[in-house]
Amino acid sequence: MRNKTFIVGALAVIVAAAAFFALGGPALLKGERRSQIAAAAANGDWLIGGHDAGQTYSSPLKKINADNVGQLGFAWSYDLNTTHGQSSTPVVVDGVMYVSAPWGFVHALDARSGKALWSFDPKVDSAITSKVCCGITNRGLSFHKGRVFVASIDGRLIALDARTGKMAWEVDTIIDHERGYTITGSTYIAGDLVVIGNSGAELDARGYVTAYDTQSGEQRWRFFTVPKNTTGPFENPELEMAAKTWDPNSFWEVGLGGTAWDGMAYDAELGLLYVGVGNSALYPRKLRSPSGGDNLFVSTILALHADTGRLAWHYQTTPGDQWDYTATQKMILADLEIDGRQRQVLMQAPKNGFFYVLDRATGELLSAEPYVPVTWASHVDMKTGRPVETGQASYSEEPRLVFPGPSGGHNWHPMAFNAQTQLVYIPAIEFPAIYWIPKEPFKYQKGGVNLGALYTFPIDKSVDWGPYAEGMPSLEELSKGQPDTTIRGYLRAWDPVAHKVAWQVETSEQWAGQMNAIWNGGGVMTTAGDLVFQGRSTGYLHAYRASTGEQLAKVNLGVSIMAAPMTYELDGEQYVAVMAGFGGALGGTHPEGTAAYRYGNAGKLIVLRLGGGAVPLPAEIKRDAKFAKPPAERQGTAETVALGKELFMRHCSICHKNNSAGGTVPDLRRINAKTYGEFEDIVLGGIRATRGMGSFKGQLTAPEVEAIRTSIIHDAWQAYESEQGPVGSESHKPNTPEADKAGAQK
């Protein structure tokens, strides 16, 4: 559940009515560069994924404002022809909207009417789905000098002619296709370079980021984020320094992680590209780097010289990470007055729960304060810049409950910065987890999931340990002395100078204490109209007063929302647009109460304007939430069931959460006779690869697949029988042929 944006660039002059094709520089630049950004924004263009070069997700438009936002209504929509989750933010240039969708599809639309101008299909082999960690998704595209740049999930970087959608060039960015490499993130522009990272740390990827020439597609440089050993040779000189922070006996074979799967930013004035680096792999230090060490450059913010790819400075948010604390969350560039001095800063709220303000020229730490409950560290030492670990979060010898969990205090969903309020709006989550290392020795699986640790969550105050129940402490024991373990989500307005919450809105709704509490609130956008917009899984787009958090409006779009909205202006009229569709770390499950559960999850781009009518809603789905009688009797021994549960947790649970009656990724407790009979062909043969279920051949054996099926049937009977009433009651019928016969005779 890692989920795994967005775009920055280099500036060029706007000539006459031509589109603003070259992007870059910080959000609050001086002189000519600033006037270019301001002119383009005033012209109605949303230039890059985060709106401006500072990645602020903030617009100066204010025709839609706190006084009239209640009049927002339907303008137009566009069907995306997919049920996978939508994570990207549209880009609008010269009246044309460009959107990226799962797999790496691109659609060019008339931004006034929604009329399709062209579409691009990357033609991905669906077998890649077995290597995808957290949903088939795409977090954005970039636009530069008449070309659109997008990455396909199978690792290709593609340049398209913005007028026609024809491919200008394509390059394979993956160094080893036998490993678990994919791309779910956005492309980024840095001068005349297009930059891309990759995903796969939960499998066996070794992270790197690569820059290509925007015109030719020629590789200009590549920066590996972790060494392949401590002795070299080193692909980039910085790895020699990094190697000293690893044990020579580290588990090199597994790749070590450090994937750059999401946030980057570019400062054209400084010539620096900022890259967020992801979590380590394996998770536990004990297995990954036995003698310890910081393990550079995992969970690190890198500042690279964009022209050469050489390191200018680095700041590691979580040295020796072992909790999946990525630093790939969105980074915002802005100018802040701190202690009476104007500072050029980089701001990030990574997974580890601390909000960082860094000098973006030097990497100097200016502040680091918790924006959610944090127990893995007591504070960040301002002299050394290092977190002071509490020790209670070390699970090398026994299970430990840790704040935050692997979803972090903030996941991939974009945060936003408003220059008027000087506040950062964070989709924050309070979500602990219980981590432990399995007793069985770790076995590396090439191309498969390789965590080395397991974790679970205190959902509804109970923990299902499954095959690990024996000897496990109770939740009460694990949570003793800890913050409230109730899972909650918030839209949190953070003051980056005063280091405190200015206001907050809880977004958990009916899911407080449940998984969907943290995924109910999506990405954020703010405007000069004193507004903050955020979508929810309920299908509503909410508008708040940016200065106070007062809810001013909400519009039912009929589709669950994860992505950050955007706004643009054409012909004197302002629009608000958002990509809608649920997915990602929830694994395609659709909890009851979400729009995806109620209406299905057909992805859409939905555009609103003042004075529009109600958004047309899909037809409601009629479903029976109760469990049907399983298609087969219980089978196998208790040991086989336990093995199957363990294998399911390691290989299947990233997607199949078993917590919903609806979704694009099914709850396997609801397995039907056809699926039951084809189970091995599905898992090993890949017969449902086109539907997102790739083959696990080479990762699982036939007996292991059978053990998984046995455990699923066991769980299906448990769920079915729990709905039949207490044992001994008239409504409860045991799972035996004799009972079936007796019931029929009655």
- Do 319 and 388 meet the contact criterion of CB atoms below 8 Å apart? no
Question: Cα separation of 627 and 672, whole Å?
Answer: 11
Instruction: Name the active-site residue from 52, 324, 667, 715.
Output: 324
Q: Which of 610, 628, 649 is the last residue of a domain?
A: 610
Residue 601, pLDDT > 90, answer yes
17-46 pLDDT, tens digit per residue, is: 333 333 333 333 333 334 344 455 455 578
Which of 350, 389, 382 lies closest to 366, judged by CA?
382
626 falls within a domain: no
Find out whether 273 and 189 touch, Cβ atoms under 8 Å: no
Residue percentage of the chain with pLDDT more than 70: 86
In a domain, 1, yes or no: no
The 3-state DSSP class for residue 356 equals strand
CB 337 within 8 A of CB 498: no
Is residue 507 located within the same domain as residue 656? no
**Residue-level pLDDT at 692:** 65
Residue 178 sits in the same domain as residue 298: yes
The mean-pLDDT minimum among 107-121, 299-313, 587-601 falls in 587-601
| 586 shares its domain with 450 | yes
Say if residues 411 and 5 touch (Cβ distance below 8 Å): no
Q: Rounded to whole angstroms, how far apart are CA atoms 712 and 689?
A: 20
Average pLDDT over residues 270-291: 97
Tell whether the model's pLDDT for residue 363 goes beyond 60.
Answer: yes
Burial code of 714-724, b = ≥16 C-beta within 10 A, e = fewer?
bbbbeebbeeb
Domain check: are 572 and 692 in the same one? no
Our measurement of the distance from residue 224's CA atom to the centroid of its chain's CA atoms, rounded to an integer in Å, reads 22
Cβ atoms of 323 and 283 within 8 Å: the answer is: yes
Q: Are residues 579 and 676 in the same domain?
A: no
Residue 619 inside a domain? The answer is no
75 and 194 housed in the same domain: yes
* Full domain range(s) for residue 285: 31-610
Within 10 angstroms of residue 114's Cβ, the number of other Cβ atoms is: 17
Confidence of residue 693 (pLDDT cuts 50, 70, 90): confident
**Model pLDDT, residue 165:** 98
Residue 17 within a domain: no
Helix (H, G, I), strand (E, B) or coil at 276: strand
**332-348 residue pLDDT tens:** 999 999 999 999 999 99
- Asked if residue 582 and residue 648 are part of one domain, the reply reads no
Q: Which helix (H) or strand (E) holds 551?
A: strand 551-556
DSSP 95: T
- Indicate whether 669 and 531 sit together in one domain: no
* Pair 300, 380 in one domain: yes
Beta partners for 402? 433
State the pLDDT confidence band at 726, using cuts at 50, 70 and 90.
very low
| Domain end position, chosen among 570, 595, 610 | 610
The reply to whether 516 and 381 lie within a common domain is yes
Residue 206's beta-bridge partner residues? 257
Instruction: Report pLDDT for 13.
Output: 27
125 belongs to the catalytic site: no
First to last CA, the chain: 48
Q: Is the pLDDT of residue 82 over 90?
A: yes
Domain presence at residue 58: yes
The average confidence (pLDDT) of the chain is 87
Domain-located, residue 624: no
Judge whether 343 lies within some domain: yes
CATH number at residue 714: 1.10.760.10
Task: Report how far Cα 318 is from the mean position of its chain's Cα atoms.
Answer: 19
Identify whether residues 398 and 274 lie together within a single domain: yes
CATH number, domain of 129, equals: 2.140.10.10
Peptide bond into 282 cis (omega under 30): yes
Poorest-confidence range of 96-105, 473-482, 541-550? 473-482
Q: What is the mean pLDDT of residues 279-291?
A: 96
| Mean pLDDT of all residues in 616-624 | 88
The number of folded domains in the chain is 2
Q: Is residue 738 pLDDT above 60, yes or no?
A: no
Q: Does 625 reside within a domain?
A: no
Picking from 594, 610, 626, the residue at the C-terminal end of a domain is 610
For residues 95 and 191, state if they share a domain: yes
